[in-house]
Every structure is written in structure tokens, then in C-alpha cells.
Amino acid sequence: MKNKVWFVTGAGQGIGLVVTKELLKRGHKVIATSRNKSKIEEAIGTNENLLALSVDIKDLKAVESAVKSGVEKFGEIDVLLNNAGYSQMWTFEETDMEDIKGNIETNLIGTLNVTHAVLPVMRKQKHGHIYITSSAWGYGTVPYNSVYAVVKFGLDGFAESISHELKTVGISISSIKPGGVRTNFLTSDSLQTGKSTIEEYAAGRDEWVNTVKSWNGYQDGNPQKYAEFIIGLTEKDSVPPMHIFAGRDSYEIAKNKIAAVQKDMDELEAQATNLHFEN
């Protein structure tokens, strides 16, 4: 197996850090980015196969500079793991537009920035694999999740659409849709809620948000197994699938969504497929 060069965003904590550690353990090289590279360095220490960089993924120039530094050190980028981001739960009407724009800038535009910066490297190499981290809630969503759904559904659609373009230049892409993974993702550092409140929404919204917060530390997904899973897919001879559902809860959400869509299609099929011109 050829040791690969990975570019990992959001590597200072959570899944990104676990993946980075496992990659180094297996002998791969990692360009690991975070808003503060010291978090990576403190967690891992010195390693000749690690290049830790402070990068704001909202800043395309900063991302391009990081990609350049990574290629100068390791010569190529074989796998991109777009992992950086944070969750947001609240009602749409109660959420400030600035907070909405901030989430989109980081989770959606940030991912597009990194992908855009890495693509020229992979296209020149004529190989590479890109992981886009969507979410199980980016396939079948839940209440009070509208802003996060905008981002994660968008990333899922982006990955599926661009996959057709990338096939022509030797690059593959996967949209990963993980369920709950037991990291700090539901702590106040990673879960943003709203500041404004409207009385009519309060009871349902508070009950759901508090329920989700109570899952912290009890999520079903093991981050170490998750890391081993997605790394292992790139160590096989076959190309990883386009759609990757990760976790028992992710599969349950997906199956329920597929069944609900099929039910709606079946209910209206006779009428909805009779809207054409008659020759």
C-alpha cells in the first residue's frame, strides 16, 4: 500500500483530530489545518509526517497558501477530508441572519474554498479522492435544524453534482453522512443556538434543543471506528462510494427518508406523471 498524503480540515479537535492521529499511526502524511494549529501540535506533538497549519477556511487565499505549503513539503495531495464545521439548532425565524450567514460561510463556503484550492493539485496529478462531510441530518432532517440543513443538504448535492465533472479528470468524491459520533460536537463550542426568542416557538424548540444537548457523551458512533472506516476505504483498490452513510443511526434515518419519499411518490404517481403533452 502506498502511503498517502491527506489534507484534513478541522483537525484540532473531534473527528478531525482522531482521523489525523490514525493516519499518522498508519504511516500516512497529513496536512492538518485548524483555526489554531497549536491545538493540533499540543495533541500530537512533533511528527515528520505532520504539517500543522492555522487556516481560516472562510479565507480562500489562506486556504490556497496552505495547499501550496502542503505540496511543497509532501509533493502531492492524495485525499482531501473536508471535516471542519459546527452545528446550529434553533427555529429559522428566531435565528439572526448574521448567524445564518456565518454558518453558511464556514460550513458551506469554507468547504467549497478548500475543495476549489485542492482540485488543481489533484487534476495535475490525475488522481485524488475528496471526502465531503455532510450529515445524516443532511439527508433526512429533524425539527429546528433548518440552517444546518441548508448547509448539509447543499454539500450533499454539491458532491453528487461535481462527481460527474471529476470523473473526466481522474478524481473521485464521496459525501459522508455520519450519524451521531461521540465527540465534542454537541458542546457549546460546536453547537450554536439562537439569541432571539418568540413565545409561540418556545416550548417545542426548547424541548428539542435540550433533548439534543442531552445526547452529548452518549452518541452511538465511536470516533476511532469512524476514522478507521473512512481511512480504510481509501486503502482498498476500489474507489469509495459516492454516498456513504456512517453509523447505525445514519442508516435508520436514510431508510426512513427513502420510505417516506417513496410513499409520497406512490400517492401521486398517476396524477403527477400525467402532465405531459399528448402527441
Active site residues: 134, 148, 152
Closest residue by Cα to residue 17 from 49, 50, 40, 37: 40
The H or E element spanning position 69 is: helix 60-74
3 state DSSP class of 198: coil
For cell 504539517, what's the residue? 51
Dist CA 11 CA 19 (whole Å): 8
Q: Which three cell numbers stand for residue 11?
A: 483537525
Per DSSP, which regions of 10-49 are E strands? 29-34
Counting beta carbons within 10 angstroms of the beta carbon of residue 169, is it exposed (0 to 12), middle (13 to 18) or buried (19 or more)? middle
